[in-house]
Amino acid sequence: MRAVVQRVLSAKVTVDDRTVGEIGQGLLVLVGVEQGDGPADVEYIARKIRELRVFEDEARHLNRSVQDVGGSVLVVSQFTLAADCRKGRRPSFDEAAPPRIAKPLYEDVVRELQANGLKVATGEFQAMMLVSLVNDGPVTLLLDSRKRF
């Protein structure tokens, strides 16, 4: 499972001109589920999102988590994170989990974050979404449950 985590002042997702998820200060997280992902991947990604110290303390050091600052998380499914772009010009999505597997794991990430007290908003699985954000910093981090990077 892969995730792109962005520290934001605000973010929202719209589908067909309706807002489906919106947050103020917090994290925008794009999640891609890969073939072979399971509960351990969900736990790893959710724990990292919860515990990453990417917000500044009084000394301006990145020393606070989204929980510490009372922030929210906007979680958006994005299968293209599983793309392999190493060969040719067209990305290969062979490693992306099919929707019947990806959707429950994506929803498990959301539930895991909520179960730990975070306010969580979401996009809409398999929809064409418009994601807008005000990136704070900018701070953008890549997570991979298989620790390939």
Question: Mind telling me the catalytic residues?
Answer: 78-80
C-alpha distance across the termini of the chain, in Å: 12
Taking the C-alpha atoms of residue 52 and residue 34, their distance in angstroms, rounded to an integer, is 22
Are 26 and 12 in contact by the 8 Å Cβ rule? The answer is no
Give the Å distances, CA to CA, from 90 to 2, 85, 94, 148. 20, 7, 12, 22
Would you call 69 helix, strand, or coil by DSSP?
Answer: coil
Give the Å distances, CA to CA, from 52 to 14, 114, 127, 128. 27, 16, 28, 29
